Structure 1
Amino acid sequence: MAHKLAIEAKGLLKRFEGTLAVSGVDLAVPAESIYGILGPNGAGKTTTLRMLLGIIDPDEGTRTLLGSDDPVSMAHAVGYLPEERGLYPAMKAIEAIAFMGALRGLSLAEGRERGRELLEDYGLGYAADRDVRQLSKGMAQTVQLLGTLVHRPRLVVFDEPFSGLDAINQGKLEVLIRDLAKEGTTVIFSTHVIAHAERLCDEVAIIAGGRVPFAGPVDDARDRIRPRVRLETQARDGAWRAALPAGLEPEGAFWNFELPESGVEPLLRSLIEGQAGIQSLSIERAGLHDAFVEIAGEAAARQLEADMAGERR
């Protein structure tokens, strides 16, 4: 199913009281993939997700969800975890999960049965009959997460799912997302944390200021920046220097420069034939953070860093 799309959007535009929140967003989310929407807070991530799901309608543009141009009609096949968490405090954990399943067409009895299985799998079976108010923040977030999955959706949409989770639960959520994709579920999540997107996603959409300057495979984003070479040589000079960028000066025993467009093999040939005395040579590919800065700009990258710093406080 790699060639099929779970979601396709063209030209999505949304204004709130005259203010442009999302402008001309195009997305194509492959079925059975993990897809990230990456950008700082206020960039338009939540508005975009809500338009894709039919929670709000775009002012312009079209979207197709699981083959339907009426996203609401596919709600039974979608699991959605909004950024704003909320459960009824007096409801038992198992009943909260069953209730969320019932909203997607599952019977309460089946929701309770599946809910207990999910809680057991997640190591929270002992909390099934506790009131939500008795749960820790992390446990309550997990209950809401499991309620999002209890009806076994074909498409799962998480809005900032890692926000507020400690490192252990973030790791558990990453494992869960990978497992969902292995089972054939399409997973979309928004985040302002580049590391999560880089570790998990097959493809990303980078969003800044309500626009999407890049959407596609993570590797394509990283390839916007040429890899860098770190070279250590015994010799300081010789004919082999012509293979290095003009005017390049060594940093101690090392030379640091962009990989030439001709690739590494001609470079190696020149170094060997010129008797440069190669001590070490490494090629470092750009990370998604560097790609984000290149694509979205330094202002958006600074906002991303500020968002992460604010969350750590």
Structure 2
Amino acid sequence: MPQALNINHLAKSYGSVRALDDVTFSVAPGEIFGFVGSNGAGKSTTMRIVLGVLAADSGDVRLGDAPIDFDGRKRIGYMPEERGLYPKMKVGDQLAYLARLHGLSKSEAADATEKWTRRLGIHGRLGDQVNDLSLGNQQRVQLAAALVHDPDLLVLDEPFSGLDPVAVDVMSEVLTDKAAQGIPVIFSSHQLDLVERLCDRVGVISGGVMKALGTVDDLRARDGLRLEVRGPRSETRWADGLPGVTDVEYRDASAVLHIDHGTDDQQILTAAMAAGPVHRFATTAPSLTELFRELV
């Protein structure tokens, strides 16, 4: 039965470089967790420690309450950022071989290879060598390799990289389906629109430190709301000093106000109308992309 992935106080250094500094988070059964950060932020290092490819200097990784041992790692579906496939091996043979390494019988491996190559749209390439495929189809094969043994946990490093929009939809559907089956799913991505759309929770890491952790809505609302007002001329600076307004960005005939939760927006509207006609008055929260820029 799938259990939560618990990452507890991971630290990792390479000489004087602190790659991870007290990184702690969890991924619950049935949850899709987005792990985002700039290149070199610590995402891949964390995932490699989960897989046992790297050893942490301190901290641990657990499935449920138990440390992940060799048998536990056989139940993980891992998709590395750098493709971990044999380039001169045929797709079908490779997937069946990897399934056998995870403990499936020959017939089970063949059935699983059939299932996932059809699901991911690469069944017609079973007899092709991996290095004869496009980068997008190689990525589909890599995902099939992560799924072919029916894992209890999915750890995917940049799974959407190089995929066309149709393949992105297929990949998204697969991850959503696996989560619906109770599988914890963690993936890293620079495509923050996908993270925002797919993920139940998000962790933002920078310089090896977790900068933010929570649901997309919680993260977007963490620094209050923004209020866009169009109409009054910026030179009037009509919003300066209004209660609950923490910052104002004046732009020609509009202004973006950063406001605290619970601020009386009608008082703001009254002040705006006193300064000129109001053509737009709407509250918004920053997108995940904007939040990422602020944090990183």
TM-score bracket for the superposition, by shorter chain length? 0.7 to 0.9
SS at match of 2:81: coil
For residue 201 of structure 1, what is the aligned residue in structure 2? 199
For the residues of structure 1 that align with 2:192 and 2:286, how far apart are their CA atoms?
13
For the residues of structure 2 that align with 1:247 and 1:197, how far apart are their CA atoms?
28
CA contact (8 A) 1:31 1:186 kept: yes
For the residues of structure 2 that align with 1:192 and 1:71, how far apart are their CA atoms?
30
Is the alpha carbon distance of 1:15 and 1:278 closer, same or farther for their aligned partners in structure 2, counting shifts above 3 Å?
Answer: closer
For residue 109 of structure 1, what is the aligned residue in structure 2? 107
**Deviations 1:106-145, CA, capped at 9 Å, x for gaps:** 1232111121122222222222233334322322221121
Is the alpha carbon distance of 1:253 and 1:32 closer, same or farther for their aligned partners in structure 2, counting shifts above 3 Å?
Answer: same
- Equivalent residue letter for 1:268: Q
CA contact (8 A) 2:225 2:261 kept: no
Give the alignment of 1:141-156 within 5 angstroms: 141-156=139-154
For residue 221 of structure 1, what is the aligned residue in structure 2? 219
- Equivalent residue letter for 1:84: E
CA contact (8 A) 2:246 2:259 kept: no
CA RMSD of aligned residues (A): 3.3
For residue 285 of structure 1, what is the aligned residue in structure 2? 285
For residue 259 of structure 2, what is the aligned residue in structure 1? 259
What's the CA shift for 1:156?
Answer: 0.5
What's the CA shift for 1:232?
Answer: 4.6
For the residues of structure 1 that align with 2:121 and 2:10, how far apart are their CA atoms?
41
CA contact (8 A) 1:226 1:286 kept: no
Is the alpha carbon distance of 1:278 and 1:243 closer, same or farther for their aligned partners in structure 2, counting shifts above 3 Å?
Answer: farther
SS at match of 2:204: strand
SS at match of 1:21: strand
CA contact (8 A) 2:32 2:200 kept: yes
For the residues of structure 2 that align with 1:145 and 1:41, how far apart are their CA atoms?
22
- Equivalent residue letter for 2:281: L
Is the alpha carbon distance of 1:210 and 1:41 closer, same or farther for their aligned partners in structure 2, counting shifts above 3 Å?
Answer: same
Is the alpha carbon distance of 1:253 and 1:105 closer, same or farther for their aligned partners in structure 2, counting shifts above 3 Å?
Answer: same
SS at match of 1:28: strand
- The gaps in structure 2 that reach 5 residues or longer are none
For residue 174 of structure 1, what is the aligned residue in structure 2? 172
What's the CA shift for 1:13?
Answer: 0.9
Q: Which moved more, 1:149-158 or 1:23-32?
A: 23-32
- The gaps in structure 1 that reach 5 residues or longer are 297-313
For the residues of structure 2 that align with 1:56 and 1:246, how far apart are their CA atoms?
44
Q: Which moved more, 1:15-24 or 1:52-61?
A: 15-24
Is the alpha carbon distance of 1:275 and 1:202 closer, same or farther for their aligned partners in structure 2, counting shifts above 3 Å?
Answer: same
For the residues of structure 2 that align with 1:105 and 1:247, how far apart are their CA atoms?
59
SS at match of 1:14: strand
Q: 1:19 aligns with which of 1, 17, 26?
A: 17
Q: 1:63 aligns with which of 47, 61, 64?
A: 61
Q: 1:211 aligns with which of 199, 209, 212?
A: 209
Equivalenced residue count is 291
What's the CA shift for 1:213?
Answer: 2.0
For residue 46 of structure 1, what is the aligned residue in structure 2? 44
Which protein has the bigger helix share? 1
For the residues of structure 2 that align with 1:171 and 1:60, how far apart are their CA atoms?
38
Is the alpha carbon distance of 1:270 and 1:197 closer, same or farther for their aligned partners in structure 2, counting shifts above 3 Å?
Answer: closer
For the residues of structure 2 that align with 1:226 and 1:123, how far apart are their CA atoms?
44
SS at match of 1:84: coil
Q: 1:137 aligns with which of 123, 131, 135?
A: 135
For the residues of structure 1 that align with 2:33 and 2:124, how far apart are their CA atoms?
33
What's the CA shift for 1:64?
Answer: 1.0
Counting aligned pairs with the same residue, the percent is 33
What's the CA shift for 1:269?
Answer: 6.7
**Deviations 1:17-37, CA, capped at 9 Å, x for gaps:** 453221211112222111111
For the residues of structure 2 that align with 1:241 and 1:290, how far apart are their CA atoms?
24
Q: 1:158 aligns with which of 156, 159, 162?
A: 156
For the residues of structure 2 that align with 1:191 and 1:141, how far apart are their CA atoms?
14
- Equivalent residue letter for 2:108: E
CA contact (8 A) 2:41 2:207 kept: yes
Q: 2:183 aligns with which of 182, 185, 189?
A: 185
What's the CA shift for 1:157?
Answer: 0.5
